[in-house]
Amino acid sequence: MHYKVSISNPTEHFIQLTFTIDSIHQDYIHIQLPAWRPGRYELQNYAKNIRCFEITDDKKNQIAFKKITKDCWEVETKNINKIFISYEYYANQYDAGASYIDESQLYINPINCMMYVVGREDENYDIELAIPDEYKIACQLQVTEKTIHAKNFDELADSPFIASASLQHSSIKIQHTTIHFWFQGNHQLDIERLKNDTKLYTQKQIELFGDLPCSDYHFLYHILDKPFRHGVEHADSTVIAMGKSIEQNEEDFYNDLLAISSHELFHLWNIKRIRPVDMFPYDFTKENYSTLGYVYEGITTYYGDLILLRSGVWSWEKYCKSFSSDLKRHVENPGRFNYSVAESSFDTWLDGYVPGVIGRKTSIYMEGMLAAFIADIMIIKYSDKKYSLDNVMRDLYAHFYKHGKGYTESDYKSLLEKYSGIPFDNYFKEIIWGKGNFEKYLKDVVDCLGCEIDFTEPLLNRNNNYTITQNELFKCWARI
Ligand SMILES: [Zn+2]
């Protein structure tokens, strides 16, 4: 499969694409564009950004086609071996999961604008970029001069890239992996400090899972000149779009960048490899419903911050500040009395990324994080500090991902029970599928840690002056 990408109209934010398909032997073929992207579990209907769609053969004759769904085209290919599909894609959404073009850069998430032939998803792709010679390319895939190579559509769909003359690059080595840092946009960041902190938290994540399964990993940072915060995970990379607000100082902005980076790196294991059976493999044409968002986003949110504390990159005070802000969002959301976190996960496809109707739903991020925290402390407590949620995650990685399969709610529950030695029926009934029942559990686990929690003015450990307690369970949890 071959794509040619041209940028003759950057000021109006249109990208020109030509998809060449050869070795056709059927009377009809179906061409599919994804309807959503992993990381955001709602339909996005990318086909609405396409115009000037036409199909020709190698003598430039028009080929007949018709749409059979909103993003699938049926093409008449009787006695035709090779076709060229050309179209323009409107790339004017500058965030971590979309595509954007202007005079200074070409930034593409291929899942937005590139297609596959139904039944031929496993064939390899070459993406040829008609870009200026001075442009550098940042991407997790192999790049030869101006061509990007993917071994199949899944890999292409998971591999965003930035091409620009002003891309800044730096790297570090951790064990056998090279970690790349790419920056697009002006920033005031202390790169040496970022490299050092990244090394510290990455090492702690590798310790948790046992290995880092990629030879190269890329942080693609877009630094915007407006307040912004968005990150999207991929198998061997992440795109993070950040912009500082006026009220934020450089130190707070830096810590926020670390928090989102640690979260996205954790996804490398938790969702890009350890994945619910409902999304194994992904179906890009329609909703992939799952009630397990509290695992793939909740546990990731929980560990993103906890790993920064464990690695010493964050102080206890910084950790508490972030925890308290998540707790505040839980306490101030009346939706927790109406809908469980599992039901809210299923419904991300409906209203997961908008405020929605007041009092209707919870968040797989916030309630999921609190559910993970409770599960972690329960395991540490009931196993007498022998195990923690770390063991559950390592087990999911070793016994599900590495055996080529997804996990179910009952698999996850069995692992919580295996490492804690107690039944988790009430936990699933009250916290995962229940409504508004977090407080009493939270109070219990925070007591175990020797900390304090205040729900009226949501704060963790507010009366302890942020000193680390000497409680043994606390030390086991924070690895201090
Ligand atoms: Zn996430």
Calculate how far, in angstroms, residue 394's C-alpha sits from the geometric centre of ligand 1: 18
More confident residue, 68 or 475: 68
Calculate how far, in angstroms, residue 270's C-alpha sits from the geometric centre of ligand 1: 9
Calculate how far, in angstroms, residue 301's C-alpha sits from the geometric centre of ligand 1: 7
Banded model confidence at residue 380, pLDDT cuts 50, 70, 90: very high
pLDDT at 323: 95
Calculate how far, in angstroms, residue 264's C-alpha sits from the geometric centre of ligand 1: 6
Calculate how far, in angstroms, residue 66's C-alpha sits from the geometric centre of ligand 1: 37
Instruction: Tell me the per-residue pLDDT of 48-101, one tens digit each, with 9 for 90 and over.
Output: 999 999 999 999 999 999 999 999 999 999 999 999 999 999 999 999 999 999
Calculate how far, in angstroms, residue 96's C-alpha sits from the geometric centre of ligand 1: 12
Residue-range domains of the chain with CATH: 2-164 (2.60.40.3650), 168-267 (1.10.390.10), 277-478 (1.10.390.10)
Calculate how far, in angstroms, residue 354's C-alpha sits from the geometric centre of ligand 1: 16
Calculate how far, in angstroms, residue 459's C-alpha sits from the geometric centre of ligand 1: 23
Calculate how far, in angstroms, residue 465's C-alpha sits from the geometric centre of ligand 1: 31
Calculate how far, in angstroms, residue 300's C-alpha sits from the geometric centre of ligand 1: 6
Instruction: Tell me the per-residue pLDDT of 301-323, one tens digit each, with 9 for 90 and over.
Output: 999 999 999 999 999 889 999 99
Calculate how far, in angstroms, residue 275's C-alpha sits from the geometric centre of ligand 1: 13
Calculate how far, in angstroms, residue 4's C-alpha sits from the geometric centre of ligand 1: 31
- Pairing verdict, β 65-69 and 100-101: unpaired
| Mean pLDDT within 364-383 | 97
Banded model confidence at residue 459, pLDDT cuts 50, 70, 90: confident
- Pairing verdict, β 177-184 and 216-224: parallel
Neighbouring-strand partners of residue 86:
18, 54
**Residue 358, CA distances (Å) to 235, 336, 338, 365, 452 in order:** 35, 11, 10, 18, 30
Calculate how far, in angstroms, residue 9's C-alpha sits from the geometric centre of ligand 1: 34
Instruction: Tell me the per-residue pLDDT of 387-396, one tens digit each, with 9 for 90 and over.
Output: 999 999 999 9
Calculate how far, in angstroms, residue 311's C-alpha sits from the geometric centre of ligand 1: 20
Half-sphere exposure of 298 (CA within 13 A, CB side): 28
The model's pTM is 0.96
User: What are 166's two structure tokens?
Assistant: 């002003």
Calculate how far, in angstroms, residue 339's C-alpha sits from the geometric centre of ligand 1: 21
Gap between the Cα atoms of 443 and 128, Å rounded: 57
Model confidence at 466: pLDDT above 60: no
Mean pLDDT across the chain, nearest whole number?
Answer: 95
Calculate how far, in angstroms, residue 260's C-alpha sits from the geometric centre of ligand 1: 8
Calculate how far, in angstroms, residue 8's C-alpha sits from the geometric centre of ligand 1: 35
Banded model confidence at residue 455, pLDDT cuts 50, 70, 90: confident
SS3 of the chain: the string is CEEEEEEEEHHHCEEEEEEEECCCCCCEEEEECCCCECCECCCCCHHHHEEEEEEECCCCCECCEEEEECCEEEEECCCCCCEEEEEEEECECCCCCCCEECCCEEEECHHHHCCEECCCCCCCEEEEEECCCCCEEEECCEEECCEEEECCHHHHHCCCEEEECCCEEEEEEECCEEEEEEEECCCCCCHHHHHHHHHHHHHHHHHHHCCCCCCEEEEEEEEECCCEEEEEECCCEEEEEEECCCCCCHHHHHHHHHHHHHHHHHHCCECCCECEHHHCCCCCCCCCCCCCHHHHHHHHHHHHHHHHHHCCCCCHHHHHHHHHHHHHHHHCCHHHHCCCHHHHHHCHHHHCCCCCCCCCCCCCCHHHHHHHHHHHHHHHHHCCCCCCHHHHHHHHHHHCHHHCCCECHHHHHHHHHHHHCCCCHHHHHHHHCCCCCHHHHHHHHHHHCCCCEECCCCEECHHHCCCCCCCHHHHHHHCC
Calculate how far, in angstroms, residue 63's C-alpha sits from the geometric centre of ligand 1: 42
Calculate how far, in angstroms, residue 271's C-alpha sits from the geometric centre of ligand 1: 9
